[in-house]
Chains A and B, each alone.
Chain A
Amino acid sequence: MKPPLRIAAADDEPDMRDFYQRMLTTMGHEVLCAVASGRELIERCAEFKPDLVITDIRMPDMDGLEAAQAIASELPVPVILVSAYHDKELIDRANADYVMAYLVKPIDESDLETAISIATNRFEQFLSLKKEATDLRQALADRKLIERAKGIIMKRAGVAESDAFRRLQKMSWDRNKKLAEIAQIIITTDEALSPARTH
């Protein structure tokens, strides 16, 4: 059983707000709010930081897509859109990475349950992929720094590449710092002491 979710919902129809309130609760989730407009949804999301946003598209004052965009720019949250319309323009606009599902009305609780389950799973995958991508990017940047530091040691101390790397490793262990941090220190020092820079 998945942990219950803290959900924010928006729809301009009172029946639908009632539906979300009751049905999501029945499914074991916590409904933080069920509001009637995009603006209200943004306010409540800023306040409650929900795990999931379910919103209608066409609403008075601000539409659901606009609200979802504003919310997602503040905190990573999966969004499920529920609309009676699915014209090309709306679908194109909904094609953002935080939109995890687009349901066309009329829907019932089983549609909602499936969509929630898929949306949250996908979002987790999405987040972990995103994290993985960030880690990889960091690893690549670290690797570059280490290569440069190794080159400096080889030149200044006149040692072979394997020795230069071993020196780096030892410094990292001795000082209890990451390899990349040590590499950065060496690069900065080298820059400071380099004749081209001093004159």
Chain B
Amino acid sequence: MAGTSRGNLDHPATVESGPHSASPHAAGDLLHTLTGSVISDLQVRVAHLERELRESQREAHAAKELLGVAQGDVTKYREIFELAPDAYLITDPNVVIRKANWASAALLGTSLDKLPGTPLLLFVPASCRRHFRTQAAKLHNLVVLEPWETQIKPRGKAAIPVEIHLGAIRDSNGQLRGSHWIIRDASRRKEADIRVQASQRLSVIGEMIAGLAHESRNALQRSQACISMLAVELKDQPEPLALVERLRNAQRDLNRLYDEVRQYAAPAIVQRELCDLRSLLDETFANLMAVHPDRQARLVHVDPGHVNKQASVDSFAIAQVFRNILENALAACDDELLVTATWREVWADDRHRLVELRIRDNGRGLSEEACERIFQPFFTTKNQGTGLGMAIAKRIVEVHQGTICVGDTSLQGAELVVTLPRSAK
């Protein structure tokens, strides 16, 4: 281009210093004049052409840059296509795969090089094929389809739920040239959906149970009132009175069951106050023994490290945890019951220290099944128990950001390990 440019600039000079300029004749003068006019005209044109040329050079340069950008974009889009987390496929009008990305190969359970040329329908379970064909056929009239859910069967694996987004590829005449597909694995989302639904259901059931247990109080009260009145009516008749007594016992069990369900289902509200856990355990033990004057039991503390047992807890709730554990011990052991409370301090993390309390009895210990299910609601090994005691204990301890679990089972007796933070985090 530089050469052309120089040629154009040289041209007028060549004309001026040409053979005609040397001629002295009139004709020669006219010619000279004419030539001069033509030349000046040509010079204007040349200048104009030069401008145009420069303009088009600029345009060409800009176009080249644009092309470069477009090519960069294409590379980018190709990368996005290839590395997209969802399966992205391009098929021809007969739904035979033309292009596919890595995620498609992973989803369809095959290698990437085997996909082009394979009909997509091969990866659709037989039961879904009819609907799949109908959907694909809709593209003849539509540009984009509403996403729909179906199943895909990867090679050698069970079918999985997927969500499909489908769009048409048309040429400039509107002729269907193929379609692009985004296939999204919906199994994880489905699982999450199910979990959310299940937890919603559980919370509704929980509220319902708490409400039921609460509302039942009035009915239980009426029944209680009538039993009491019946007992008065029958006070001189020992046999029917014995029946009333049995009725009363059943009523008492029912009350207790409802009470425990209420406690388990009620929203946990922790009213913390500083208290000494050892005194709390001693007190709970003493109260329990007062209710069972016929039993013989001892509580001993093992505290080699002189653990600081001051903790900010809901003393009423924690006493209940202790009571439930001790009641189990009392039920599982023959006299004399020996309860050993071992105290230790453990680090929860760099900053928080926990009080660890191991409560061991000298009874039969826990079976493997009991170990697994002890904290499950309604699991019980006792003849008279709701099976909520340990479930409630777990709930209370967890509300306090503590833990409760079964301890060492290789030694005699059952051991429960409770850890509690000194204060709320």
Contact assessment for B221 and A107 in the assembled complex, using a CB-CB cutoff below 8 Å: yes
Q: Does A159 contact B (CB under 8 A)?
A: no
Known: A19-B225, A107-B224, A108-B224. A26 touches B232 (CB 8 A): yes
Contact assessment for A22 and B229 in the assembled complex, using a CB-CB cutoff below 8 Å: yes
Residues of B within 8 A of A171 (CB): none
B205 to chain A, nearest CB (A): 21
Q: Which residue of A lies closest to B215 (CB)?
A: A84
Contact assessment for A106 and B228 in the assembled complex, using a CB-CB cutoff below 8 Å: no
A100-125 interface code vs B (CB 8 A; 1 in, 0 out): 00001111110000000000000000
Contact assessment for B229 and A18 in the assembled complex, using a CB-CB cutoff below 8 Å: yes
Contact assessment for A84 and B221 in the assembled complex, using a CB-CB cutoff below 8 Å: yes
Contact assessment for B229 and A19 in the assembled complex, using a CB-CB cutoff below 8 Å: yes
B255-271 interface code vs A (CB 8 A; 1 in, 0 out): 10000000000000000
Instruction: Determine the distance from Cα of A19 to Cα of B220 in the docked complex, in whole angstroms.
Output: 13
Contact assessment for A15 and B225 in the assembled complex, using a CB-CB cutoff below 8 Å: yes
Known: A84-B214, A84-B217, A84-B218. A108 touches B228 (CB 8 A): yes
Q: Does A13 contact B (CB under 8 A)?
A: yes
Q: Does A5 contact B (CB under 8 A)?
A: no
Residues of A within 8 A of B225 (CB): 15-16, 18-19, 23
Residues of B within 8 A of A105 (CB): 217-218, 220-221
Residues of A within 8 A of B226 (CB): 15, 19
Q: Between A and B, how many residue pairs show CB distances below 8 Å?
A: 46
Query: B221, B223, B229 — which one has the most chain A CB atoms within 10 A of its CB?
Result: B221
Query: A13, A22, A26, A84 — which one has the most chain B CB atoms within 10 A of its CB?
Result: A84
Contact assessment for A22 and B232 in the assembled complex, using a CB-CB cutoff below 8 Å: yes
Q: Which residue of A lies closest to B220 (CB)?
A: A106
Contact assessment for A16 and B229 in the assembled complex, using a CB-CB cutoff below 8 Å: no
Contact assessment for B229 and A23 in the assembled complex, using a CB-CB cutoff below 8 Å: yes
Residues of A within 8 A of B220 (CB): 105-106
Contact of A13 among B222, B228, B229 (CB under 8 A): B222
Contact assessment for B218 and A23 in the assembled complex, using a CB-CB cutoff below 8 Å: no
Instruction: Determine the distance from Cα of A23 to Cα of B226 in the docked complex, in whole angstroms.
Output: 10
Contact of A15 among B217, B222, B255 (CB under 8 A): B222
Instruction: Determine the distance from Cα of A108 to Cα of B231 in the docked complex, in whole angstroms.
Output: 12
Instruction: Determine the distance from Cα of A124 to Cα of B14 in the docked complex, in whole angstroms.
Output: 137
Contact assessment for B221 and A23 in the assembled complex, using a CB-CB cutoff below 8 Å: no
Q: Which residue of A lies closest to B269 (CB)?
A: A88
A30 to chain B, nearest CB (A): 17
B367 to chain A, nearest CB (A): 36
Instruction: Determine the distance from Cα of A18 to Cα of B233 in the docked complex, in whole angstroms.
Output: 13
B48 to chain A, nearest CB (A): 94
Contact assessment for B221 and A106 in the assembled complex, using a CB-CB cutoff below 8 Å: yes
Contact assessment for B229 and A106 in the assembled complex, using a CB-CB cutoff below 8 Å: no
Instruction: Determine the distance from Cα of A109 to Cα of B221 in the docked complex, in whole angstroms.
Output: 11
Query: Considering the complex, which residues of chain B in the window 224-261 have a beta carbon less than 8 Å from any beta carbon of chain A?
Result: 224-229, 232, 255
Residues of B within 8 A of A107 (CB): 221, 224
Residues of B within 8 A of A19 (CB): 225-226, 228-229
Instruction: Determine the distance from Cα of A23 to Cα of B230 in the docked complex, in whole angstroms.
Output: 10
Contact of B221 among A16, A18, A22 (CB under 8 A): A16
Residues of A within 8 A of B214 (CB): 84-85
Contact assessment for B232 and A106 in the assembled complex, using a CB-CB cutoff below 8 Å: no
Residues of A that sit less than 8 Å from B by CB: 13, 15-16, 18-19, 22-23, 26, 84-85, 104-109
Residues of B that sit less than 8 Å from A by CB: 214-215, 217-218, 220-229, 232, 255
What 17 additional pairs, Cβ within 8 angstroms, besides A84-B217, A106-B220? A13-B218, A15-B226, A16-B221, A16-B225, A22-B229, A22-B232, A23-B228, A23-B232, A84-B215, A84-B218, A105-B218, A105-B220, A106-B223, A106-B255, A107-B221, A108-B224, A108-B228
5 contacts between A and B (CB under 8 A): A13-B221, A15-B222, A16-B225, A23-B232, A106-B217
